[in-house]
């Protein structure tokens, strides 16, 4: 009570001192935030607002959504020839895709030229950067490639900082239309999967093994990469919680008894948080995971650790594509690890899938060019090649995904040159369909994440990881 | 009649004004007084305002149901919510312990070495003196990485084995590997050169007669140490605390790497979903900065001076460590400084030739195939050879662009902060007792005492609005760097100006020598060494600054953020290569300045 009084007094004195000069605030347009947008199968709330209510960039997007590549490219050439294009994204590979895009436009008009700058902020700064840029009449950034559906929803879309553009060819390939598509435009789905070092005696045959007593998985700190937190939020959705329940029931009785107490203890919390019938399994798994994982700064160090011979019996949850960059040596080999979900008889979730989404900024200085670039990345294999050349990233366009597989053969990426001998089992990427089916990949749903961010989210923050 | 007899008030006022502004130091004080007031207060006001603002998508929106406007809910939730312990009280306690512990380690270690180098006959003093400063040259978290590489183990930290575990099977306990202890040790070692130079300076210049007099009076050695030596060193200790406490408090990378939750790390982690509450943490850190300044003011008022009242000796005696002892003590320091100064550099260099980060196959196979030059020489953007799509350091445009950016920011900060600081120091020395002069000096010093991460946060908020948006521009980095580093120059300048007799300048004034000429021909040449230190320190600090710039730009913009990015990504070959580039750059500049002017870095740290 004393603390509350102190806080109120402190706040009051600061308010008086500071806000006196702030002037009257604008009428609050925000009392009632927009409800979260739906996932890709449902209608986006502002899908078809009257044209007169659209911003200038939204009007361009509307027009661009009906255009072919050639039409859009012509607009982009007209708009950005001789100019500089600024993009910002969570993936550094936007920088590799832009020169290919410029070449594609040059193929149409050889006199075309555009310089570019691609920024990749870390530690969640992309949201601050876009928010700050969004305050200007004309922004610096033309578009963004961004992850973390939860924050995108609450900080970028509801606030009108970013707009979604659905390329015609992408909609066609997915058997839909731009108007019917809701939610955001994903460039690709990335997967973080459970991998373990096989140089020791341990095996992990069930996702509950990763949270057993004495286990400490290597995982990027959920406070520095928020999509990790989204993974935990998603586990509480009833369908994924049921996966956890099924996996639990597949455990032998002695192992079940290790977890039963924790699961039972979570029942009331699950009820308080409004979770479904199997929510207690999700909360128990989350609690055990959060209180045991060894936080790392990035997936890179996790991969470096796991592939070393000396890392016997260690495991982690990390981006699958990190395996692409391991060089064989006396100490290090890709054969020192197993992808848990690839093991025969493995039960339960195999990992977590999240998307890189593409947006045009609502104050984009080059909206036509931004739309054309997004079109190029999502509708052509060349445009996607910056990501597609490596395993573990799956284009959201089925045509591009098929062409990428045809070009790069990721499904047999671990075979030796003769094509029959398995050289690196872990590098034979089984593809998006396998991962989201048999591989039991937990997929991010921005709407669900946003809805539980301050309920399940606050519950997670109360766990002992945060106590010290 | 009255008009003629009575004083013409406006004429008197104008005359007073004219007299006031005829003194260049008054003009400097007025001008920079306004500048430092605005540049210090405006960010504080901006961040305070942010603590009341509602941020879409964060806890304040959730609690108030609004997406804009103002509220006190951030204060209420932070201080009294169910997360208060985890988000405020525990990080606050850890931060205080870290700052105090860092001061203790820095003073004990730096002070001991300073004593051994200046007041004993220890062997290899010159070598130890030069090598001791290296940890300060390197970015602070590089020692944290070295600490991890030495002591981490699969059994305790659940990561790959460090050197001790893999070579000798020794698993250090958890408290040694992660948390408060390693954080304060690493920061203490990083800031020990501050204490070394400040305390060493006093040891070197102190009047040995005081101790000699005590000896003549047959005072026991311990009593001399506590009643004579220590009081004389006290100002240097206070200065060290002044400089180190705020810096340790605001350090982000070291506690981040070593797993300690402090206000800085909490600020960064809370910034995504508790933005307003994170700003309150920054305010709390700033309050500590102000408190430290007030304590310093109090200590200045109570400083005593000493004089001898008995027979004096002209000899300066050094403690004799003995024929063997002087080598044993020196050897111990050589070993310690090897791990704090040499080993990191050797390991950085070695890391750039490993096939995979942390892959030491070569050490036990002896096979040169387990070494590579790819991290330096790869000139294609390929990912198949384990370089994550990066070109080698020599061909990596991103690294060299960041290097150019760092040089631009460092040189600009050095020149601007050095010049402003020197002028402020000069002006304050001319008007030492004036209230305004003291205000200007303290206001200029305040940003240095505020934790870097809080200053960075305040400048980010101040310059990210619809009118001015300077995020990710060199302009913002330079402005912030200048404000933060003016104290380096103002402090060294003031200290040196106070040593300068006023008569020298007065003689020139009598000869009608203009002010500019007096400065450039008399004052600056006399105090050249200290003034150059005032320019070199901002340069060097800026070169490897991370906490201050972390929130102000993206990685790849300057070298320290690029280095941190590669370290976080686990691409240690790149981060090690960048570390080497930084160290070489600092050493080259230091040597160059030393050769050209005779001044050197270690003469002026902290004034």
Contact residues, chain A, for B76 at CB < 8 Å: 4, 7-8, 11
Q: In the prediction, which pLDDT does A348 show? A: 96
Question: Which has the minimum average pLDDT: A425-434, B245-254, B314-323, B354-363?
Answer: B314-323
Contact residues, chain A, for B355 at CB < 8 Å: 327, 329, 332
Average pLDDT over residues A4-31: 39
Distance from CA of B434 to the nearest CA of A (A): 29
Question: Which has the minimum average pLDDT: A236-245, B325-334, B574-583?
Answer: B574-583
For chain A, domains (ranges, CATH) are 53-188+355-402 (3.40.190.10), 190-351+430-466 (3.40.190.10)
Distance from CA of B361 to the nearest CA of A (A): 5
User: Which residues, in sequence order, are CB contacts of B498 under 8 Å at separation 6+?
Assistant: B429, B432
Q: Which of B159, B271, B369 sits opposite A294 (nearest CB)?
A: B159
For residue A106, name the pLDDT band (cuts at 50, 70, 90): very high
Are the beta carbons of A200 and A313 closer than 8 angstroms? yes
Best of B94, B279, B356 to mutate (most A CBs within 10 Å, chain A)? B356
Could you list the beta-strand ranges (E) of B75-217: none
Tens digits of residue pLDDT in B450-475: 888 888 888 988 888 777 888 888 99
Average pLDDT over residues A369-390: 96
Contact residues, chain B, for A453 at CB < 8 Å: 62, 273
Q: In the prediction, which pLDDT does B323 show? A: 87
Residue B123, pLDDT > 70, answer: yes
Look at the domain B22-50+84-352+388-603 and name its fold: MetI-like fold (1.10.3720)
Q: In the prediction, which pLDDT does B515 show? A: 85
Q: In the prediction, which pLDDT does A48 show? A: 61
Please indicate whether, in this complex, the C-beta atoms of A135 and B355 are within 8 angstroms of each other. Answer: no
Higher pLDDT, A4 or A43: A4
Distance from CA of B58 to the nearest CA of A (A): 8
Please indicate whether, in this complex, the C-beta atoms of A224 and B389 are within 8 angstroms of each other. Answer: no
Are the beta carbons of A261 and A303 closer than 8 angstroms? no
Pseudo-torsion of CA B440, B446, B452, B456, nearest 10°?
-50
Q: Which of B67, B269, B359 sits opposite A331 (nearest CB)?
A: B359
Q: Which of A325, A91, A221 minimizes the C-alpha distance to B573? A: A325
Please indicate whether, in this complex, the C-beta atoms of A311 and B160 are within 8 angstroms of each other. Answer: yes
Q: Which of B85, B160, B571 sits opposite A305 (nearest CB)?
A: B160
Distance from CA of A195 to the nearest CA of B (A): 14
Please indicate whether, in this complex, the C-beta atoms of A467 and B386 are within 8 angstroms of each other. Answer: no
Contact residues, chain A, for B385 at CB < 8 Å: 327
Average pLDDT over residues B289-313: 65
Q: In the prediction, which pLDDT does A417 show? A: 81
Higher pLDDT, A35 or A165: A165
Please indicate whether, in this complex, the C-beta atoms of A7 and B75 are within 8 angstroms of each other. Answer: yes
Please indicate whether, in this complex, the C-beta atoms of A127 and B356 are within 8 angstroms of each other. Answer: no
Q: Which of B78, B268, B361 sits opposite A330 (nearest CB)?
A: B361
Average pLDDT over residues A206-232: 92
Residue A26, pLDDT > 60, answer: no
Best of B70, B282, B359 to mutate (most A CBs within 10 Å, chain A)? B359
Percent of chain B, pLDDT > 90?
29
Cα–Cα distance measured from residue A222 to residue A416, given in angstroms and rounded to the nearest whole number: 37
Q: In the prediction, which pLDDT does B382 show? A: 61
For residue B283, name the pLDDT band (cuts at 50, 70, 90): very high
Tens digits of residue pLDDT in A38-54: 334 333 444 566 667 89
Contact residues, chain A, for B259 at CB < 8 Å: 295
- Mean pLDDT, chain A, as a whole number? 87
Q: In the prediction, which pLDDT does A357 show? A: 97
Percent of chain B, pLDDT > 70?
92
Best of A100, A232, A330, A413 to mutate (most B CBs within 10 Å, chain B)? A330
Q: How many CA atoms lie within 13 A of B98 on its CB side?
A: 32
Distance from CA of B62 to the nearest CA of A (A): 7
Question: Which has the minimum average pLDDT: A400-404, B234-238, B545-549?
Answer: B234-238
Rg of chain B taking only CA atoms, in angstroms: 27
Tens digits of residue pLDDT in B154-211: 788 887 778 788 778 889 999 999 999 999 999 999 999 888 887 887 777 666 777 7
Cα–Cα distance measured from residue A175 to residue A160, given in angstroms and rounded to the nearest whole number: 28
- What secondary structure, in 3-state letters, does B324-362 show? CHHHHHHHHHHHHHHHHHHHHHHHHHHHCCCCCCCCCHH
Model confidence, pTM? 0.81
Tokens of A278: 């199997």
Q: In the prediction, which pLDDT does A378 show? A: 97
Q: In the prediction, which pLDDT does A233 show? A: 96
Q: Which of B66, B268, B550 sits opposite A30 (nearest CB)?
A: B66
Q: Which of B70, B356, B550 sits opposite A304 (nearest CB)?
A: B356
Tokens of A328: 């064989």
Helices (H), A65-139: 69-80, 94-108, 125-134
Cα–Cα distance measured from residue B539 to residue B414, given in angstroms and rounded to the nearest whole number: 5
Residue A76, pLDDT > 90, answer: yes
Cα–Cα distance measured from residue A18 to residue B48, given in angstroms and rounded to the nearest whole number: 8
Tokens of A173: 């390939």
Tens digits of residue pLDDT in B469-507: 888 889 999 999 999 998 888 887 887 787 777 788 888
- Mean pLDDT, chain B, as a whole number? 85
């Amino acid at each position: 009570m004393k603390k509350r009084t102190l806080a109120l007094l402190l706040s009051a004195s600061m308010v008086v001192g500071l806000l006196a000069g702030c002037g009257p605030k604008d009428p609050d347009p925000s009392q009632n935030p927009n409800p979260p947008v739906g996932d890709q199968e449902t209608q986006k709330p502002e899908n078809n607002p009257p044209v007169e209510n659209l911003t200038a960039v939204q009007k361009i997007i509307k027009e661009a959504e009906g255009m072919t590549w050639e039409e859009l490219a012509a607009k982009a050439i007209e708009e950005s020839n001789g100019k500089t294009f600024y993009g910002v994204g969570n993936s550094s590979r936007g920088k590799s895709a832009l020169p290919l895009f410029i070449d594609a436009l040059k193929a149409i008009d050889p006199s075309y030229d555009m310089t570019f700058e691609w920024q990749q902020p870390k530690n969640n700064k992309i949201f601050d950067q876009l928010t700050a840029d969004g305050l200007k009449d004309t922004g610096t950034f033309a578009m963004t490639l961004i992850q973390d559906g939860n924050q995108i929803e609450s900080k970028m879309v509801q606030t009108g900082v970013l707009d979604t553009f659905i390329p015609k060819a992408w909609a066609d390939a997915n058997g839909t239309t731009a108007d019917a598509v809701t939610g955001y435009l994903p460039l690709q789905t990335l997967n973080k999967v459970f991998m373990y070092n096989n140089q020791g005696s341990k095996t992990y045959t069930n996702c509950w093994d990763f949270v057993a007593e004495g286990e400490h998985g290597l995982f990027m700190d959920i406070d520095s990469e928020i999509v990790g937190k989204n993974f935990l939020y998603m586990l509480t959705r009833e369908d994924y919680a049921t996966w956890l329940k099924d996996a639990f029931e597949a455990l032998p009785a002695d192992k079940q008894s290790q977890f039963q107490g924790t699961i039972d203890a979570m029942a009331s919390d699950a009820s308080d948080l409004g979770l479904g019938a199997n929510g207690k399994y999700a909360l128990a798994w989350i609690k055990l995971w959060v209180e045991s994982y060894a936080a790392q700064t990035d997936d890179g160090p996790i991969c470096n650790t796991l592939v070393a011979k000396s890392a016997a019996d260690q495991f982690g949850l990390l981006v699958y594509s990190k395996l692409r960059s391991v060089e064989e040596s006396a100490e290090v080999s890709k054969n020192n690890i197993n992808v848990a979900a690839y093991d025969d008889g493995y039960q339960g979730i195999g990992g977590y899938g999240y998307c890189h989404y593409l947006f045009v900024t609502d104050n984009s200085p080059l909206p036509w060019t931004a739309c054309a670039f997004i079109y190029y990345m999502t509708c052509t294999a060349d445009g996607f090649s910056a990501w597609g050349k490596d395993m573990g990233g799956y284009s959201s366009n089925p045509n591009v995904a098929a062409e990428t597989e045809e070009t790069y053969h990721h499904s047999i990426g671990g075979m030796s040159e003769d094509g029959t001998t398995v050289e690196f089992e872990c590098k034979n990427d089984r593809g998006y369909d396998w991962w989201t089916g048999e591989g039991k990949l937990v997929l991010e749903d921005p709407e669900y994440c946003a809805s539980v961010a301050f309920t399940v989210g606050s519950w997670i923050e109360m766990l002992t990881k945060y106590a010290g | 009649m009255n008009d003629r007899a009575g004083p013409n008030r406006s004429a008197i006022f104008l005359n007073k004004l004219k007299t006031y502004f005829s003194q260049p130091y008054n003009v400097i004080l007025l001008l920079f007084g306004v500048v430092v007031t605005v540049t210090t207060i405006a960010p504080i006001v901006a961040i305070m305002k942010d603590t009341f603002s509602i941020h879409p998508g964060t806890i304040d929106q959730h609690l108030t149901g609004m997406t804009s406007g103002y509220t006190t809910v951030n204060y209420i939730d932070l201080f009294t919510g169910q997360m208060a312990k985890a988000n405020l009280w525990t990080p606050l306690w850890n931060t205080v312990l870290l700052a105090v512990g860092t001061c203790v380690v820095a003073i004990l270690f730096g002070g001991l070495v300073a004593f051994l180098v200046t007041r004993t006959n220890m062997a290899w003093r010159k070598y130890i003196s030069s090598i001791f400063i290296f940890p300060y040259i390197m970015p602070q978290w590089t020692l944290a990485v070295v600490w991890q590489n030495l002591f981490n183990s699969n059994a305790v930290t659940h990561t790959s084995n460090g050197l001790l575990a893999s070579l000798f099977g020794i698993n250090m306990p958890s408290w040694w590997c992660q948390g408060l202890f390693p954080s304060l040790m690493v920061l203490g070692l990083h800031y020990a050169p501050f204490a070394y130079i400040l305390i060493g300076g006093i040891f070197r210049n102190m009047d040995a007669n005081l101790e000699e007099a005590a000896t003549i009076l047959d005072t026991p050695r311990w009593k001399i140490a506590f009643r004579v030596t220590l009081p004389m060193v006290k100002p240097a200790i206070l200065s060290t605390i002044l400089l180190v406490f705020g810096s340790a408090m605001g350090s982000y990378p070291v506690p981040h790497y070593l797993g300690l939750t402090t206000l800085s790390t909490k600020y960064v982690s809370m910034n995504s979903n508790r933005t307003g509450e994170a700003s309150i943490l920054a305010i709390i850190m700033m309050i500590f900065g102000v408190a430290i300044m007030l304590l310093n003011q109090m200590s200045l008022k109570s400083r005593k001076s000493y004089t001898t009242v008995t027979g004096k000796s002209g000899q300066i005696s050094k403690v004799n460590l003995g024929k063997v002892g002087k080598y044993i003590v020196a050897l111990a320091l050589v070993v310690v400084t090897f791990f704090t100064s040499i080993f990191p550099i050797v390991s950085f260099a070695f890391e750039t030739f490993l096939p995979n980060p942390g892959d030491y196959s070569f050490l036990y196979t002896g096979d040169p195939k387990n070494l590579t030059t790819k991290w330096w020489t790869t000139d294609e953007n390929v990912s198949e050879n384990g370089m994550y799509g990066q070109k080698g350091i020599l061909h990596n445009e991103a690294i060299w662009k960041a290097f150019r950016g760092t040089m631009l920011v460092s040189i600009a900060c050095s020149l601007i902060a050095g010049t402003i600081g020197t002028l402020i120091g000069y002006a304050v020395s001319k008007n030492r007792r004036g209230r305004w002069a003291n205000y200007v000096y303290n206001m200029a010093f305040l940003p240095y005492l505020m934790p870097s991460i809080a200053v960075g946060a305040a400048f980010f908020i101040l310059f990210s609005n619809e009118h001015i948006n300077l995020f990710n521009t060199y302009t913002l980095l330079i402005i912030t760097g200048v404000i933060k580093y003016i104290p380096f120059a103002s402090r060294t300048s003031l200290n040196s100006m106070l040593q300068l007799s006023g008569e020298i300048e007065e003689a020139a004034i009598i000869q009608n020598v203009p002010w500019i000429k007096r400065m450039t021909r008399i004052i600056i040449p006399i105090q050249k060494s200290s003034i150059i230190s005032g320019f070199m320190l901002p340069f060097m600090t800026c070169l490897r600054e991370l906490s201050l710039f972390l929130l102000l730009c993206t990685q790849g913009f300057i070298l320290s953020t690029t280095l941190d990015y590669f370290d976080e990504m686990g691409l240690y070959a790149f981060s090690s290569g960048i570390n080497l580039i930084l160290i070489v750059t600092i050493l080259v500049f230091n040597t160059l300045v030393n050769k050209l002017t005779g001044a050197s870095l270690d003469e002026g740290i902290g004034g």
